[in-house]
Amino acid sequence: MPPRHGGVAAGTLYNDASRSLVLALKHGGRIALAPLMARFVSARLPQRVDADWLVVPVPLHRWRLWRRGYNQAALLARGIAESRGCSVLVDGLVRTRPTPTLGGLGRRARARALSGAITAHPRRSEQIKGRRIVLVDDVLTSGATSDACTRALLRAGAQEALIACFARVMDEALDLT
């Protein structure tokens, strides 16, 4: 099944070094890493991503946001938007129900867990309609999360969604090492 998104821009491959940075940001409270990590991602975005694009982070469910205290994807999105002169819409998407941690789940299980869990924020649809979107996450693994988010953005009338992540899991690249 072809992807709904318009491409993927990843700052780096997911490996031991990038994993350490992601975990420090995501679970270690090291939010000062976000600007550096955002610069890695921004450098990989196509030149066509300019001030006309809207940057939207992958949402956390409110309970996870309350526990963690921040959304790491939103921190990255702010840095990317700043470096590209774009607007950022941190609440453009909503995770309507809690989903399990996706680590360790296969592609189908991830897709099932996310089915119907992400929608466009009802009061932000007008800001999304007709726009080209940079969807931001920390790690792209199976694509289930970005697919659910892209689906929600396109339903809300987005013209295009491009995926931007700090690290991308590439099994074929990891097999070479």
pLDDT of residue 12: 97
CA distance 110 to 90: 23
CA 138 to chain centre: 6
CA distances 99 to 35, 80, 145, Å, are 27, 26, 11
162/176 Cα distance (integer angstroms): 27
Query: pLDDT tens digit string along 6-30?
Result: 899 999 999 999 999 999 999 999 9
Task: State pLDDT tens for residues 78-105.
Answer: 999 999 999 999 999 999 988 777 777 7
16-26 helix and 34-44 helix, angle to the nearest 10 degrees: 130
Domain ranges of the chain: 8-174
Domain 8-174 is in which class?
alpha beta
* Cα 117–Cα 133–Cα 101 angle in degrees, nearest 5: 30
Element (H, E) at 73: helix 72-84
pTM of the entire predicted model: 0.91
| 130 contacts 157 by C-beta, under 8 angstroms | yes
